[in-house]
């Protein structure tokens, strides 16, 4: 038997979700069987598994001790560097991710999340041994070969609220990109339909959806500068689908410079010329109130300096 007291970072989630995190080696079928047999109780009473946990709840689980053993998960301590932070408060961090760095952990290299967790650990803000189900987490992610701003939550409440704010489009994301060919217009709001091929890890774009499995995408762009066939483009996502910018620009006849998947490999650019450059926050309250009305910007990407040396960050439109 094991008794667990729900702490602040455990509250607000479903009981079954909490137990899956706390006992990852237990098969889900066994977990729900224990619930049905009343071998899992909340505050001494029978439960269904769908209850939302409150701080101070007492969870009792009658199961073999082996299921409570957690695998070592402190691999973030191997992160060699510190995150490049552009914003920090007690609940939220916003960091710049360079091209070539993973957003989340991988076996081949440390990730931005590793650096963030180690930074918070070194500050004494995150103690994995004191947590039952939570670890600082990213609220958005970028492809390995995309640079730019990534939001991280330091506690569970901030993670829930930021995920909801992103879902409600209270976080406006703008990107800078370099295309290998001119776009059809200088400024446009483009609509199309996208379908992901999971086996190939790529997406297809069409102007009309053949069936309901295709998802609508809307991408807004404005050309900021031109150098021969190349264009410097400001892009805003009005929907957030896999590879949306890369695939949509390629569909419009202007693939990203350095994009091997939807364009062509470039000897001069080892990574695709795409940067999540700006985040604008509105409708923020609660633990996110420190971000209300703020616009955060990354450093001007090096690929902009290389291909458009005369362009300055001051030339970016303030309102768009």
**Within-domain flag for 320:** no
Question: Which of 68, 98, 117 is a domain's end point?
Answer: 68
- Do 192 and 299 sit in the same domain of this protein? yes
Same domain, 103 and 176: no
The pLDDT tens digits along the chain (320 residues) read 899 999 999 999 999 999 999 998 999 999 999 999 999 999 999 999 999 999 999 999 999 988 888 766 678 988 888 999 999 999 999 999 999 999 987 666 789 999 999 999 999 999 998 899 999 999 999 989 999 999 999 999 999 999 999 999 999 999 999 999 999 999 999 999 999 998 889 999 999 998 999 999 999 999 999 999 999 999 999 998 999 999 999 999 999 999 999 988 777 788 899 999 999 999 999 999 999 999 999 999 999 999 999 999 889 887 77
- Residue 240's pLDDT is 87
One domain for residues 31 and 96: no
Instruction: Give yes or no: residues 102 and 47 share one domain.
Output: no
Confidence (pLDDT) at 317: 85
Instruction: Please provide the size of the chain in residues.
Output: 320
269 and 226 belong to one structural domain: yes
Residue 274, domain CATH: 3.30.2350.10
Q: Would the CA dihedral through 131, 134, 137, 143 be positive or negative?
A: positive
- Give the residue numbers spanning the domain of 250: 172-315
The strand pair at 2-5 and 187-197 is best described as unpaired
By C-alpha distance, which of 172, 201, 192, 156 is closest to 282? Answer: 172
Q: Please check whether residues 32 and 103 belong to one and the same domain.
A: no
Instruction: Report yes or no on 31 lying in a domain.
Output: yes
CA atoms of 279 and 298, how far apart (whole Å): 9
Number of structural domains in the chain: 3
- The tokens describing 211, both together, are 């069936």
CA-only gyration radius of the chain, Å: 23
Pick from 244, 236, 188, 250: which is nearest to 215 by CA?
A: 244
Q: What's the confidence (pLDDT) of residue 174? A: 96
Considering the domain architecture, whether residues 9 and 90 belong to the same structural domain is answered as no
> Which residue among 137, 168, 199 closes a domain?
168
How far is residue 142's CA from residue 99's CA, in Å, rounded to a whole number? 9
Domain co-membership, 240 together with 181: yes
Verify that 32 and 86 share a domain, yes or no: no
What's the Cα-to-Cα distance from 7 to each of 36, 53, 265, 287, rounded to whole Å? 25, 9, 50, 17
For residue 40, the domain's CATH number is 3.10.290.10
What CA–CA distances, in Å, run from 39 to 1, 17, 297?
9, 17, 51
CB of 57 within 8 A of CB of 43?
A: yes
> Cα(268)–Cα(261) distance, rounded to whole angstroms?
16
Half-sphere exposure of 153 (CA within 13 A, CB side): 22
Q: Which of 149, 168, 187 is where one domain is finished?
A: 168
């Amino acid at each position: 038997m094991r008794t667990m007291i729900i702490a602040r970072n455990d509250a607000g989630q479903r009981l079954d979700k909490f137990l899956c995190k706390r006992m990852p080696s237990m098969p889900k079928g066994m977990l729900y069987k224990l619930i049905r047999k009343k071998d899992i109780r909340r505050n001494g009473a029978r439960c269904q598994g769908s209850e939302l946990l409150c701080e101070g709840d007492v969870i009792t689980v009658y199961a073999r001790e082996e299921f409570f053993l957690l695998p070592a998960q402190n691999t973030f301590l191997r992160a060699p560097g510190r995150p490049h932070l552009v914003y920090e408060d007690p609940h939220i961090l916003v960091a710049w991710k360079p091209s070539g760095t993973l957003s989340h952990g991988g076996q081949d290299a440390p990730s931005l999340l590793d650096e963030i967790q180690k930074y918070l650990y070194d500050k004494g803000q995150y103690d994995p041994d004191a947590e039952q189900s939570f670890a600082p987490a990213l609220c958005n992610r970028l492809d390995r070969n995309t640079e730019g701003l990534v939001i991280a939550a330091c506690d569970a409440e901030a993670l829930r609220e930021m995920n909801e704010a992103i879902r409600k489009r209270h976080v406006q994301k703008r990107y800078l990109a370099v295309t290998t060919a001119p776009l059809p217009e200088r400024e446009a709001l483009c609509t199309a339909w996208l379908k992901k091929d999971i086996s190939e890890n790529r997406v297809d774009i069409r102007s009309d959806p053949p069936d309901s499995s295709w998802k609508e995408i809307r991408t807004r762009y404005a050309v900021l500068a031109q150098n021969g066939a190349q264009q410097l483009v400001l892009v805003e996502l009005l929907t957030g689908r896999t590879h949306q910018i890369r695939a949509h620009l390629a569909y419009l006849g202007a693939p990203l410079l350095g994009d091997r998947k939807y364009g062509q490999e470039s000897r001069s650019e080892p990574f695709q010329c795409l940067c999540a450059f700006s985040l604008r926050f509105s409708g923020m309250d609660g633990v996110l109130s420190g971000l209300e009305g703020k616009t955060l910007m990354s450093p001007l990407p090096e690929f902009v300096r290389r291909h458009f040396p005369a362009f300055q960050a001051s030339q970016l439109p303030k309102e768009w």
